[in-house]
Structure 1
Amino acid sequence: MATKLQLITELSERTAQSATRNPVNWTSFLKTAAWNYKYPFQDQLLIYAQRPDATACAPIELWNQKFGRWVNRGAKGIALIDDSGSRLTLRHVFDVSDTNSRYNRHVALWAMQDRYAESVKETLESTFGELEEKKDIVTALISAARNAVDDNFPDYLSDLMYFRENSFLEELDDLNVEVIFKEILKISVAYIALVRCGYPADEYLSFEDFQGIVNFNTLDTVSRLGAATSDISEMVLKEIGATVKELQKAEKKQNRTFAKNQDVHHNENVKQNSNSERDGEYGTDLHAEGRLSDTRPDAAEGRNAHRQIWDVAQNISEKLPERNVRKPDAVWQTEQPPVGDRPDSEGAHRTDHNEALTEQSRAGQGDRPDGLDRTHEQPTVLSGGIGAGGADLQLTWYDRETEDKSLPFFHSTPLINELLRSTPHLKATKQEIVDFYAVHEDSNERTEYIKNIFNNDYTELIINGNHHVGYKTYQNVLHLWEGSYAARTSQSYYDWGVIAGHFGSMILLGEFLDEPLALPSVQQQITLIEQTVTNHHN
């Protein structure tokens, strides 16, 4: 039976994959992220998945001790993954709507008001530079978001470039990737700022502005975009929030009067008893315990905003060898129950990690033994085939560093699907594959299954009459090519997760199983009868 941790990691993975599927999903996520902007990206994903309407989340201890509020009986906590210890665990936070106060204490979140517009515009301009548009607060927020992205996106772009394999960004040149990344980042940060400041973002920004989101279709690319969006929007909102709270504080002070005859002792008692209330009096910033005060990429001690989406299957199922650093903000992923300990981490804050283990391994590296990095990949060595039981360790490991990129990239989906559908050398029938997919929805199980049913030979087929295609299996990738192997006209190396996805899409669209021969129509049957009678008389 799956543990709660496994279920939550799977939820995180599914949410990440669906969030960038279209502009509607992405803007829906951004609405939740706007109200929980102090949480890192992977926490925002889980809050969105479990309580998309959450506006202020904190653990029970913070509600009790700082705000004098108690969680309602029967309230369901929002499960988040905690990596602050030697092994992954779950922690729970609760939205303000799930709490109550015995002392009638109100949680006042900072709120943007039109009367604060000029002060906020001054803050934004002094922090992020001259605003291109500032005729009103909405245009000022959008301009500030663009400036903030211009100043900070290079810190995230280089990482994205390295991790774009198997995404729609892979075939684009560096300039186009930069343009797409920067534009979707600018519009996302602006959207979050508008939502948190109380303005109808959908009226100022259209879904057409978010069309580029579909290019971030792997966990690696979602991680980088999500971390950048979360971090830069936090920069902007922290400045706005600080200004608004100061203005609210000044207004409160101006309106407050004290009885002149109160003695000093009485005033001191009042001050001591009201400290906890005043912590949130001018606009509460929740989650102070779960996010470092400086989450920027150049923060001290190597802290970085790109928290990766951890592959729990490789990080909690067995004890890992010592690693120098690990990658930040990752969408969590699981296969096996957690046993053993993980190496010590810096905690659940936005730390700097330099390893990202995701669902579809970058360049197939997710299939390597834990602890290996690119400089220690297994060499290409000829070996025997694989058994039906999945003895894929006998397969060759293909070193992507030596990949021949002189040929055009083979990416024709119709041809690839026809090749996968036509090969007679699989160790399972088409119906068996369909049946397996029907009862195994986990992408990792499907990937492993597909890899294990392929033959370990150089295989060439003729499809669509005269089109030569072929493939060769490796432990980490499937090598595909057009033409004969000795005279290939194009080729590609696909991670097994991508190949499993091709099977899944064909099954989903009803294109995988052989179509039964259509029954002849009435007219066709009459024609056949007439032909038979004629032939008989002749």
Structure 2
Amino acid sequence: MAKYENIRALAKKQLQAVTESSDRWKAFLRTAAIAYNYSFPNQLLIHEQSPTATAVADIAYWNNNAGRWVKRGAHGIAVFDTRANSSRLRYLFDISDTIPRAEIPEALPWVITDQNWRPVWDKIVADNHADSIQSALLMLSTSCVAQRSAMFTTALGKAIDGSSLQWAKPDEQRQLFLQLITQSCLYMAALRCGVDTARLDLSALESVNQFDTNRITLCLGSACQQVARPLMQQIGSITREIDSVARAEKVRYYGDKQEETNNTKEVNNGVHDGERLPNPGADVERAADAGDRQVRQPAAEIPAGERADGVR
């Protein structure tokens, strides 16, 4: 079992490394996109110990709520127990470390699949009166940041000393900080929705290396987590609603078409046969029809039960 001090040292190491380059930051954001319910320090620990994880939860959730058993001998991901307010650790397990024992769709991760991406995208675009899924996700990210911009600006002022960003003009500091939060959350949302990230403006991420002290990195990561959480919950709510209707009406979607089906597992949140999240292969015909859709392994999340940390 990992010792608390060892895990603290691991988190500090990640804190110092994660903003060294835009590539490192993007790699971290892939983990943050599926672990948005967890605090930023715990996201760092999940990323370091299990960078390929697709859905993480503790053993109690898997066994008692999700209808799955954690495999014997599986190695847990050590994170801080933020619920205990003490120097304690808790252990999480990826969905790949579990096996099914029951079908409980509502307790499994929400995920954008080949069956539901079109109605999910259409709903997001329509709700935001946008002309594309990229525009809609940018609107959502921008709105979530704007609602918290005053708090984020105050936090930045307390954390900027000693960083490379300190030497920029105050207006430039604020603008870059808010742009970086917005584009980071846009990137996470695009990954979760299967949107081709090459079509996004992510230029602010190239300046992430200016966040080169522990305090300012913690400020940035905590801000991103606070924005990503409601953003992802909103997308997840749309996805779950569409999946629920599809199961009830026994239909499945393919692009702009829908078919009746008697196999409810085919619309079961993308978890086929109750085992693992699918890893779709390249499909040239579907990709051409999808246009902006990026064919990638879907990401997922399990409710974490953690409170969102304040920007410190």
Give the whole-Å Cα distance in 2 for the aligned partners of 1:209 and 1:174: 16
In structure 2, do the counterparts of structure 1 residues 145 and 92 end up closer, same or farther at CA, with 3 Å as the change threshold?
same
For residues 33-84 of structure 1, what are the alpha-carbon distances to aligned partners after superposition, in whole Å with 9 as ceiling and x for unaligned? 1111221211111100100111110100110001121111221100001143
Q: Match for residue 306 of structure 2?
A: 291
Secondary structure of the structure 1 residue equivalent to 2:166: coil
Q: Match for residue 8 of structure 1?
A: 7
**How much does 1:148 deviate?**
2.1
For residues 274-324 of structure 1, what are the alpha-carbon distances to aligned partners after superposition, in whole Å with 9 as ceiling and x for unaligned? xxxxxx9668985435234xx4xxxxxxxx532x5xxxxxxxxxxxxxxxx
Give the whole-Å Cα distance in 2 for the aligned partners of 1:86 and 1:29: 26
**How much does 1:209 deviate?**
3.7
* Pairing 1:149–2:150 present: no
Give the whole-Å Cα distance in 1 for the aligned partners of 2:184 and 2:83: 29
**How much does 1:199 deviate?**
2.0
Give the whole-Å Cα distance in 1 for the aligned partners of 2:247 and 2:6: 46
**How much does 1:15 deviate?**
0.7
- The counterpart of 1:305, out of the listed 300, 305, 310, is 310
Question: What amino acid maps onto 1:53 in structure 2?
Answer: T
Secondary structure of the structure 1 residue equivalent to 2:86: coil
* Pairing 1:139–2:149 present: no
Q: Match for residue 119 of structure 1?
A: 123
- The counterpart of 1:251, out of the listed 229, 243, 246, is 246
For residues 9-51 of structure 1, what are the alpha-carbon distances to aligned partners after superposition, in whole Å with 9 as ceiling and x for unaligned? 1110111111100101000000111111221211111100100
Is contact 2:134–2:200 with CA below 8 Å preserved after alignment? Answer: no
Provide the aligned C-alpha RMSD in A: 2.5
Equivalent positions of 1:36-435 (< 5 A) are 36-85=35-84, 87-103=86-102, 107-111=108-112, 113-123=117-127, 125=128, 134-201=130-197, 203-205=198-200, 208-255=203-250, 286-292=301-307, 295=308, 305-306=310-311, 308=312
Gaps of 5+ in 2: 252-266, 272-299
Give the whole-Å Cα distance in 2 for the aligned partners of 1:97 and 1:4: 24
Q: Match for residue 448 of structure 1?
A: none
% identity of equivalent residues: 27
Secondary structure of the structure 1 residue equivalent to 2:92: strand
Give the whole-Å Cα distance in 2 for the aligned partners of 1:98 and 1:185: 32
For residues 376-411 of structure 1, what are the alpha-carbon distances to aligned partners after superposition, in whole Å with 9 as ceiling and x for unaligned? xxxxxxxxxxxxxxxxxxxxxxxxxxxxxxxxxxxx
Give the whole-Å Cα distance in 2 for the aligned partners of 1:67 and 1:207: 36
Gaps of 5+ in 1: 126-130, 257-279, 296-303, 309-538
Is contact 1:185–1:225 with CA below 8 Å preserved after alignment? Answer: yes
**How much does 1:206 deviate?**
6.4
Task: Tell me the TM-score normalised to structure 1 length.
Answer: 0.46
Give the whole-Å Cα distance in 1 for the aligned partners of 2:104 and 2:16: 40
Give the whole-Å Cα distance in 1 for the aligned partners of 2:51 and 2:304: 22
Task: Tell me the TM-score normalised to structure 2 length.
Answer: 0.77
Bigger drift between 178-187 and 206-215 goes to 206-215
Aligned residues: 264
Give the whole-Å Cα distance in 2 for the aligned partners of 1:283 and 1:37: 19
Question: What amino acid maps onto 2:22 in structure 1?
Answer: P
Is contact 1:60–1:71 with CA below 8 Å preserved after alignment? Answer: yes
Give the whole-Å Cα distance in 2 for the aligned partners of 1:144 and 1:108: 21
For residues 407-463 of structure 1, what are the alpha-carbon distances to aligned partners after superposition, in whole Å with 9 as ceiling and x for unaligned? xxxxxxxxxxxxxxxxxxxxxxxxxxxxxxxxxxxxxxxxxxxxxxxxxxxxxxxxx
For residues 133-174 of structure 1, what are the alpha-carbon distances to aligned partners after superposition, in whole Å with 9 as ceiling and x for unaligned? x22212211232123222222211101111211111222232
Give the whole-Å Cα distance in 1 for the aligned partners of 2:6 and 2:124: 42
Secondary structure of the structure 2 residue equivalent to 1:170: helix
For residues 200-242 of structure 1, what are the alpha-carbon distances to aligned partners after superposition, in whole Å with 9 as ceiling and x for unaligned? 32x1246644122011111110111101111111111111111
Secondary structure of the structure 1 residue equivalent to 2:212: coil
Equivalent positions of 1:451-530 (< 5 A) are none
Is contact 2:125–2:131 with CA below 8 Å preserved after alignment? Answer: no
**Relative contact order, higher structure (CA 8 A, sep 6+):** 2
Is contact 1:169–1:177 with CA below 8 Å preserved after alignment? Answer: yes
Mark the structure with the bigger radius of gyration: 1
Secondary structure of the structure 1 residue equivalent to 2:78: strand
In structure 2, do the counterparts of structure 1 residues 29 and 86 end up closer, same or farther at CA, with 3 Å as the change threshold?
closer
Is contact 2:38–2:306 with CA below 8 Å preserved after alignment? Answer: yes
Q: Which runs of 4+ in 1 moved over 6 A?
A: none
